[in-house]
Amino acid sequence: MEVEELTDIFYTSDKKGQVCRVKLNGQGFTLQRETTNNRSREQLIGLDDIVGSRCIVVKKDRRGCSMLCSSAAQNDGNRSDSGDDTKRKYNAITFQHNDASAYLYVFAYILNKKHLRNIIRRERTVLKLRFRSFDTFGDNMREAERWYHTVRAFKGRSLGYNDIDERRILVLLNPKSGSGKARDIFNRQVVPVLNEAEQPYDLHVTKHANYAREFVRVKVLDNYSGIVAVGGDGLFFEILNGLLMRADWLDARNIVLGIVPCGSGNGLARSIAHVCG
């Protein structure tokens, strides 16, 4: 099914009256801004760098402040042990009382090079689009959701899916890996990205040596798109051996594997990062 390219004009929040033409297609978001000398400047947020998006609703709290909150339509309640999405805070912004705008937040992690140290790392970028072309909030939200579903469709097509893969990720975490900070690293650095990507997952903490091997050997994996090891190379080794010990190992070996380096030996994760640039 062909995905429709979308184009619209949005006002930027940093400079009053300045407009930005936004185009969404299979490459990602192209932002075209006017500069002070009547020239245009383009920026591309590539589809490969986008992890997810979210429709945002403005709600008034008891003090009369306006807060940006995730739309309930996104069904965030299907994650287990994920840390409630509502704990992720957005900045308070002042809006007019009768504001009927809807918002789309697009989360991306863009590769940036630090010139002083010649280090390349990904930096979090949030594209905020405000929809206010219509008089009612409902119409503006429907337009925001149209962009939201288009982003998901383009993203799914780039990953080779006709539809978005709704399967979960199986996460196995070794709390004693390395300096014992695996759980803290997972909660601080991994969970926010999974929430932004709307990726449901199941978290299981290992209890003893070879726990992951036996767990994976007997676990029903039909509902999982991948397995992630949060620990060192030893935990990944257990998972791999558990897969190869299964009766259906020929099928199980096709499941996607990942690793979050938290152990004393992280050679595998470093090698993967090096190969991926």
Residues recognised as catalytic: 233
Tokens 């999982």, located at residue: 224
**What does the CA dihedral 124, 233, 160, 219 come to, rounded to 10 degrees?**
-120
Show the CA angle centred on residue 245, arms to residues 239 and 248, nearest 5°.
105
Using alpha carbons, list the distances in angstroms from residue 56 to 39, 49, 128: 32, 21, 10
Give every strand in the sheet of 201-205, ordered side by side: 201-205, 168-173, 224-231, 256-261
φ and ψ at residue 255, rounded to 5 degrees: -70, 145
Q: At what angle do helices 211-218 and 233-244 cross, to 10 degrees?
A: 30
C-beta separation of 53 from 105 below 8 A = yes
Which positions ≥6 away from 147 have C-beta within 8 Å? 6, 24, 53, 104, 129, 131
- CA 220 – CA 211 distance, rounded (Å): 16
